[in-house]
Structure 1
Amino acid sequence: MHTAAKAIPADGRDLPWVEDARKVAPRDARELTILFLERLRVLEEGTHEHQYVRNTLIEMNLSLVRYAAGPFRNRGDGEMEDIFQVGTIGLIKAIDRFDLSRGVAFSFYALPYIRGEIMRYFRDASWAVHVPRRLQELRVELARARERLTAELDRDPTARELATHLRLSEEEVREGLVAAAGYTAGSLDAPNVDPDTAPASLASGRSFADRIGINDHDMELVEDFHTLAHLLDGLDDRERAILELRFGKDMTQAQIARELGVSQMHISRLLTRTLHKLRTGMLGD
């Protein structure tokens, strides 16, 4: 274990200054964790010493978070980062609540907190639409009750039968059934066909997104184009010719000058004057 010579005096004892708590070996981390937990209990919150001890405890025990998050390694990097963050919250809660007098190893105490935060993350984040916690739990009860009653009745149970089985009101059951629909959400890019009745050839049909209307920003230009057409009618032939060559045929000012047999400077002045006239007319209208 590598510790620097610097130490923080507190309660008559010296506490080692760990330069990089993330690199402390697991065996050393277990010994240091007890030492740092003992010191944390006698330090005043908000002090530099308290902050150092607490942060060091967190960093030394991040291996517990990695261990608890291990079963979810097959998920994407983005979600694994979220899992690690919520697991770290569980670790912090364990550090703040741990009682040395219980004689329990800190790792045994912390892991349930860490796993609890991870499972809470999955319970909340797996819903496509956020619904109250009581309705999330009711969904599980309804699923179990429906499975049992379907086996007994040999058909899907009614809302009244589910309510009787769960000793709930029929209104509560209906609310739970509606909320359960928020557990998953279909993709807007999915074909808008019934997979049970439509032939396979329709699998590439129009999606739901194709049927959703959007704002057509080009419609906002219709009035502008109408006004501009009126202003163009007010230009002389030379001004309209220069605009046609510049913006219709995408010619440079030098090319226009050669086309009309005048200087490029003259074309530049005429083009600037014409555009100013049109801009003033558009803004004025």
Structure 2
Amino acid sequence: MSKRRNDSESTSDSYDNIEPWFEKLAALDPEDPRHTALREEIVHRCLPLAGNIARRFANRGQELEDLTQIARVGLMNAVIRFDVAQGRPFLAFAVPTIMGEVRRHFRDHSWAVRVPRGLKELQQRLGPATDILTHRLGRVPTARELAAELGVELTEVTQALVARNAYASESLDTQHSGGGEEGSMPALRETLGVVEPLYGLLEDAMAVRPLIAALPERERQVLIMRFWENRSQAEIGSRLGCSQMQVSRILATTLEKLRTQAMAEGPAKRAVA
């Protein structure tokens, strides 16, 4: 009997370079018992990914254990539907697929305010369309691309995306989660009206997103692997067939380019606003 590490022992390394496993899977007949066994092994290796995504949605009125199960369903769907022949990395397809499954769970079970039925129905179509376009484009699609895929107006997609915020509401007496002792954190009502320090980071992220999308494929891939997949420069170099020093230079040059472009566009955008 083969040994498998439990979830607590699994690390992100378990799904590093997972694509060769999919190549082996594609070579097997779906009716072959080895096909099912290999697919289960792939899912097992990627369980930490589902757990990490589930934790991103914690403290929103849903139990973490439930969110983890939903994320694992999304992982299973990603493994079943991933086409390694497309040449895209599995993580680029799996992450939005899993997140879409969790978001659909919130959408279907946690509406905190009244949302028009039409928007709810569009929500049900957004998830699959997002998965399809992510697989096709190798990135998360824009609202305009979603609208074109679904054959609806851009404003409808935008409204449906905004409606995702209508999840379960929290009590004003709910305490913020943090590292402090229980009862030591301020209640939500005590923070209302306070300027959120992370708003600046959010604005920066929104400003730089189109700049990242416009980068050459190699530079964008290095950024994704370094800051999204949290890979080391040595790992990135191994994946791309170059040295760690080359990866370091690419990162430095790309980040400086983004900073310069963001600083150049920032004042112009504020002037227009």
Shorter-chain TM-score: which interval? 0.3 to 0.5
Larger Cα Rg: Structure 1 or Structure 2?
A: 1
Higher strand share: 1
TM-score by length of 2: 0.38
TM-score by length of 1: 0.37
